[in-house]
Amino acid sequence: MSVCSGSTARGGLTLRWTAGGDHSVVVGSRDADRGAEAATRYERRLDQHGYDGVVTGTDNVTAAERAEVVVCSVPAYHLADTVESVADALDAGDVLVSPAVGMKHDESGAHYNRPGAGSVAALAARAAPAEVSVVGALHNLAAGPLVDLDVDLDWDTLVVGDDDDAVDTVVSLADDIDGVRPLRAGPLANAAEVESLTPLLINVARHNEGFHDTGVTFE
Amino acid sequence: MSVCSGSTARGGLTLRWTAGGDHSVVVGSRDADRGAEAATRYERRLDQHGYDGVVTGTDNVTAAERAEVVVCSVPAYHLADTVESVADALDAGDVLVSPAVGMKHDESGAHYNRPGAGSVAALAARAAPAEVSVVGALHNLAAGPLVDLDVDLDWDTLVVGDDDDAVDTVVSLADDIDGVRPLRAGPLANAAEVESLTPLLINVARHNEGFHDTGVTFE
C-alpha cells in the first residue's frame, strides 16, 4: 500500500500499519527525496519502539504505481490535484482512499466545508480514473495519538464507498490498525456526514476538559 | 420544564426526566386533550416501572407558559411553525431546546438536510423571540431505547448555544438523564455538525450488524 503526500496523518498511518507487521508501505511525496527522508524518519521511529519494519519512500507517482491501495493523505484543497497527478499510475482495480476533510475555521470553531461535489470523497472520485474505486475512510483519527506508538488507540472510523470489494479491503486495512474499529456507513453518497464528524470532534475537544485529540465510538 | 408536541422523542425525554425524580414535566401537544392523554400514558408507563412521577399534559401554548425550559421535540419541518405558535408564551430568560434534525432519505441512506439558516437550531433561533435563548441538544438519542426505562443508556449528547447560562441549564438537564453524558460543542454556529451526527448514526445502524439504535461516545 502507499500513503501519499504529506499531511500529518501520513506518518501515523505508516507507523501503525508497518508496526502491525503485515503491510508494506510506500511513502509518497511530491518530491522523491523528501519521500525517502520521511521513510527514514519513520523507520527510525519504528526502531525506537522496537519494531524492525521497512518503509520505502519515493515520489507520489512511483508510490502510486507500486501500490494496490493508495491513501491520499493530503489536505482537502490539494486532493483533486494530487489525485490527478497520480491518475496515470493507478491501475484498474486499485483502491484510492480519501481520509481528507474540508474544513473552515472561525471564532466559533471548526465547520465542515462541503465541496460542490457533495463531499471530499466525491471530489476524489471525480478526479480519479473511472476504473479506480474511491473509498472514504480514516478521517477522524487524531494525528497526535496516531503517530505515537506508545498510545493505545480506542477509536471507531467510518468507511464509505460504492464498490463492495474496495470497501472490504479498506475495512480490513483499518482493522489492522491496533485499537481502530472500522464501521461501514454505506455508499460514497453518505460521505458528507462522515466527513462532518471531524470538525465536531475538534469542537468537542475545544469546549470540554480532557477531550484533546478525542475520537469517537459507536455503541 | 415542558416537552412540547409529538415527535417520538417526547415520550422518552418525559419518562427519563420524570423517573429521575427532580423534574416536573408538562407535555404539550397541538391539542390539549391529546397532550393530556399522552401524559396519562406516560404516567402509566412510569407506574409499570415502579416510579410514581406526575406528568401534566396540555396544549403547547399552556405548556410553554408554565415552563422555563421548553424542549421543542418536533420534526425539523414543523419546528419554525411550532416555535412561532408558542412565541407569545415564552418569557425573557426562558430556554428553548431544539433537538430536531433535518434529514432526507434516499436509497443511499440518511443525509443531513441543512436549512438555509445554517442549521435547524439556527432556524429555531430565528423563529424564537429575541429574549429567549435557543440551545441545540438531545438530537442523537435513539427514541426506542430512550422510551424504554428497562434499557440502560450509555450515550453522549452534544450541546450548542450562544448563551452560557442557557447552555449550562441544558447541560445540567441532559446530565439528569441516567446514562446520558452532555458534552459542549460551542456556539449555535456549530450546530450543523452536531445535527449531522444523527443521519450518520442511522447509516451506521443500517450498514453494521448489532448497531440498531446506536449512540455515540467521545473519548
What is the predicted ipTM? 0.94
Instruction: Give the integer Cα–Cα distance in Å for B210 and B204.
Output: 10
Instruction: For residues A132-142, give the mean pLDDT.
Output: 96
B48, B50, B54, B56: CA torsion to nearest 10: -20
In this structure, of A79-88, A131-140, B20-29, B79-88, the range with the lowest mean pLDDT score is B20-29
Q: Strand, coil or helix: what is A110? A: strand
Contact A109 B185 (CB under 8 A): yes
Beta bridge partners of residue A176, listed in sequence order = none
Interval A180-219: pLDDT, tens: 999 999 999 999 999 999 999 999 999 999 999 999 999 8
Beta bridge partners of residue A159, listed in sequence order = A184
Quote the mean pLDDT of chain A.
Answer: 94
Chain B residue numbers touching A111 (CB-CB < 8 A): 189-190, 192-193
Instruction: Give the integer Cα–Cα distance in Å for A172 and A189.
Output: 21
pLDDT, residue B58, reads 94
Instruction: For residues A5-29, give the mean pLDDT.
Output: 85
pLDDT, residue B20, reads 82
Q: A72 to each of A27, A79, A147, how far by Cα in Å?
A: 11, 7, 17
| E strand map for A9-124 | 25-29, 55-59, 69-72, 95-98, 103-106, 109-112
**Cα–chain-centroid distance for residue A78?**
14
pLDDT, residue B9, reads 80
Contact B200 A197 (CB under 8 A): yes
Other beta carbons within 10 Å of B201: 24
Chain B residue numbers touching A214 (CB-CB < 8 A): 218-219
In this structure, of A6-15, A129-138, B88-97, the range with the lowest mean pLDDT score is A6-15
Per-residue pLDDT band for A8 (boundaries 50, 70, 90) equals low
Other beta carbons within 10 Å of A129: 16
Q: Which CATH class is domain A2-207?
A: alpha beta
Interface membership of B118 toward A (CB under 8 Å): no
Q: How far is B196 from chain A (nearest CA, A)?
A: 6
Contact B219 A154 (CB under 8 A): yes
Residue of B nearest to A196 (CA): B193
Is the confidence at residue A53, as pLDDT, over 90?
no
Is the confidence at residue A166, as pLDDT, over 60?
yes
Q: A136 to each of A39, A145, A186, A193, A195, how far by Cα in Å?
A: 24, 21, 10, 11, 9
Is the confidence at residue A100, as pLDDT, over 70?
yes
In this structure, of A19-28, A91-100, A112-121, the range with the lowest mean pLDDT score is A19-28
pLDDT, residue B40, reads 96
pLDDT, residue B53, reads 87
Pick from B196, B217, B218: CB nearest A193: B196
Contact A214 B214 (CB under 8 A): no
Contact A196 B201 (CB under 8 A): no
| Residues 73-112 in B contacting A (C-alpha not used; CB under 8 Å) | 106, 108-112
pLDDT, residue A87, reads 95
Q: Please, what is the Cα angle at B152 between B147 and B155, to 5 degrees? A: 85
pLDDT, residue B129, reads 96
pLDDT, residue A182, reads 98
Q: Please, what is the Cα angle at B197 between B192 and B202, to 5 degrees? A: 135
Which letter, b or e, does each residue of A74-113 get, where b requires 16 or more Cβ atoms within 10 Å of its Cβ? bbbebbbebbebbeebbeeebbbbbbbbbbeeeebbbbbe
Instruction: Give the integer Cα–Cα distance in Å for A155 and A169.
Output: 19
Interface membership of B185 toward A (CB under 8 Å): yes
pLDDT, residue A9, reads 79
Chain B residue numbers touching A187 (CB-CB < 8 A): 108-109
Contact A189 B215 (CB under 8 A): no
Chain B residue numbers touching A215 (CB-CB < 8 A): 218-219
Is the confidence at residue A65, as pLDDT, over 90?
yes
Instruction: For residues A90-111, give the mean pLDDT.
Output: 96
How confident is the prediction along chain B (219 residues), in pLDDT tens digits per residue?
Answer: 666 665 568 899 999 999 987 788 999 999 999 999 999 999 999 999 999 889 999 999 999 999 999 999 989 999 999 999 999 999 999 999 999 999 999 999 999 999 999 999 999 999 999 999 999 999 999 999 999 999 999 999 999 999 999 999 999 999 999 999 999 999 999 999 999 999 999 999 999 999 999 999 998
